[in-house]
């Protein structure tokens, strides 16, 4: 049964740049496609922000009562190092460097991706198709694009003809890039290129002699282009027109612009009613990227084994930190931001636990619970505004604390409504793990380690280096590494 709150849900559509009322194409059924990872390396925390955000969207749509088919692909072939179809396939390159089979690379990093998202308590998608598992579908898509006249074959490769496409349709409608600007910014082709125009992109690439991954096709041995897999797999599992297509903001151009062009060439349809994009997670004010070595892996945050943070932080704290910014806003990761998030999350969970411990009574409540519940849903219905939802949760916690000291009253009926609503929002929608007890243990551990550091600092001050070294060495044996500074010490778990 669809919730009454569903009628007010609005989503920001990247295609129109506006918030629009969400009405599924097929009544109670929702189709959602999200571009997944290229499984050639560990996903860094910036990558995970996208999947956490779309997990929230998936969870909320389910919570509202919709039947959701969530498709998220795995790119295991065809993603070249450069967007202009130059360079090696990322999976093949990793296999060559590690001297292993490409599918060993794929298996290794797919497992790591799944394990990381499991720690972050995300729900697996309904379908997780891979590019290599859908070569036949991609070849069929290329045939259809060739038949439409918007592609051409040259020396065993097939390219999408952007200039020809743009004569009758519009390329770049999602990113807003104009074909004239792209022409001015493009380098001229050298004599070795098979492309008619620099802007054209590969649908099928001929496999050179040293290429590891290739398949038979009507155009010879080769492999599909990166943009093609999402068009082919979304059509197979969601149809020619579905509700939501999502991904990181960096995929707007060229990946999603190319997807739209491919789809319109095949059947005339922009494939999705709503296009949604998450913004970047930066690290200490700079773009998080492996290419500039400015990144941090989720497990490095969870275990504290890194040179950036002063301690470890739980997956719950990481999710809470991410939710404190809207998914379309840039969010900067820093040690101070995570420390503040840890404090906030513990305060929120302590307040939630306190609700069930309050005394029962039938007096009138000093808090309009029904109005507050409506406010919570209105924040989520406003394009999944998690920062404002969290503000509403804390507003209620403030009231709960006043009830606890007998300054305000909460009756039994409203108390049950609060428990139900907090359970739904914290665990079913925001997807936090129920780690209340673990959180208490974590607090005790932090306090105990801090006490030992305090004793050690006093020993150092008294020049009792034997005791000081013993505390340091004993903590190291149980996985606590101290970092000494001039007047203080910090620690991380190893």
Q: Determine how β-strand 489-493 pairs with β-strand 281-283.
A: unpaired
What is the predicted pLDDT for the residue at 187? 63
| Residue 126 to residue 129: CA distance in whole angstroms | 10
Helix (H, G, I), strand (E, B), or coil: what is residue 89?
A: strand
> In the numeric block, which tokens belong to residue 145?
């694009």
Q: Name 491's bridge partners.
A: 482
pTM: 0.87
Examine residue 254 and say whether the peptide bond preceding it is cis (omega within 30 degrees of 0): yes
- pLDDT the model gives residue 205: 96
Structure tokens at 243: 């509700």
Domains of the chain, earliest start first: 4-278 (3.40.50.620), 282-429 (1.10.730), 437-493 (no CATH)
- Nearest by Cα to 142 from 256, 88, 218, 36: 218
Among 419, 441, 71, 400, which residue's Cα sits nearest to residue 235? 71
Cα–Cα nearest to 93, from 133, 36, 40, 38: 40
Find tokens 């606890």 and name the residue.
404
H or E element at residue 154: strand 151-154
Roughly what angle, to the nearest 10 degrees, separates helices 335-357 and 412-423? 140
C-alpha span between 148 and 224 (Å, rounded): 18
Judge whether 92 and 75 are in contact, CB under 8 Å.
Answer: no
pLDDT value, residue 477: 76
Looking up tokens 């969601």 gives 238
Contact between residue 197 and residue 139 where contact means Cβ atoms under 8 Å apart: no
Closest CA to 45 of 256, 226, 287: 287
- The rounded average pLDDT for each run of 10 residues, N- to C-terminus, in the chain (494 residues) is 97 98 97 97 95 98 98 95 79 93 96 98 98 98 98 97 96 92 67 83 93 95 96 98 98 97 97 98 87 90 93 97 98 96 96 92 95 98 98 97 94 96 98 66 66 84 86 82 74 64
Joined together, the tokens standing for residue 280 give 């970047």
């Amino acid at each position: 049964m669809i919730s009454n709150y569903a009628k007010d849900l609005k989503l920001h559509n990247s295609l129109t740049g506006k918030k629009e009322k969400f009405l599924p194409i097929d009544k109670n059924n929702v189709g959602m496609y999200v571009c997944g990872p290229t499984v050639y390396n560990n996903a860094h925390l910036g990558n995970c922000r996208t999947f956490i955000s779309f997990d929230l969207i998936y969870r909320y749509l389910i919570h509202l009562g919709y039947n959701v088919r969530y498709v998220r692909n795995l790119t295991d072939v065809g993603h070249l190092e450069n967007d202009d179809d130059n360079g090696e396939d990322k999976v093949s390159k990793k296999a060559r460097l590690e001297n292993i089979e490409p599918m060993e690379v794929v298996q290794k990093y797919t497992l790591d991706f799944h394990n990381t998202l499991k720690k972050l308590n995300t729900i697996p998608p309904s379908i997780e198709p891979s590019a290599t598992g859908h070569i036949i579908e991609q070849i069929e898509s290329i045939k259809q694009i060739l038949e439409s006249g918007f592609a051409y074959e040259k020396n065993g490769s097939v390219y999408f003809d952007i200039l020809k496409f743009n004569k009758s349709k519009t390329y770049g409608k999602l990113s807003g890039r104009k074909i004239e600007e792209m022409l001015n910014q493009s380098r001229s082709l050298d004599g070795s290129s098979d492309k008619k125009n620099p802007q054209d992109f590969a649908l099928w690439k001929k496999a050179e002699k040293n290429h590891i991954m290739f398949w038979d096709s009507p155009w010879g041995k080769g492999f599909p282009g990166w943009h093609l897999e999402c068009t082919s797999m979304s059509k197979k599992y969601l149809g020619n027109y579905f509700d939501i297509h999502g991904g990181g903001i960096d995929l707007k151009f060229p990946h999603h612009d190319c997807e739209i062009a491919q789809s319109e060439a095949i059947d005339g349809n922009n494939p999705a009613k709503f296009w949604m994009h998450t913004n970047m997670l930066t690290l200490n004010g700079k773009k998080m990227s492996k290419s500039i070595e400015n990144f941090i892996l989720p497990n490095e945050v969870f275990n504290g084994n890194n040179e950036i943070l002063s301690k470890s932080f739980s997956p719950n704290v990481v999710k809470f930190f991410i939710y404190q910014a809207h998914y379309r806003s840039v969010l900067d990761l820093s040690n101070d931001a995570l420390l503040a998030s840890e404090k906030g999350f513990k305060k929120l969970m302590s307040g939630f636990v306190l609700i069930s411990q309050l005394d029962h009574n039938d007096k009138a409540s000093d808090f309009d619970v029904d109005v507050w519940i409506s406010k919570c849903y209105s924040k989520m219905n406003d394009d999944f505004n998690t920062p404002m939802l969290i503000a509403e949760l804390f507003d209620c916690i403030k009231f709960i604390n006043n009830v606890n000291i007998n300054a305000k009253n909460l009756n039994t009926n409203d108390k049950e409504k609060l428990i139900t609503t907090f359970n739904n929002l914290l665990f079913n929608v925001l997807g936090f793990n129920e780690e209340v007890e673990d959180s208490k243990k974590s607090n005790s551990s932090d306090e105990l380690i801090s006490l030992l550091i305090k004793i050690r600092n006093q020993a150092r001050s008294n020049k009792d280096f034997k005791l000081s070294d013993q505390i340091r060495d004993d903590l190291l044996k149980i996985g606590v590494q101290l970092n000494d500074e001039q007047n203080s010490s910090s620690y991380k778990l190893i």
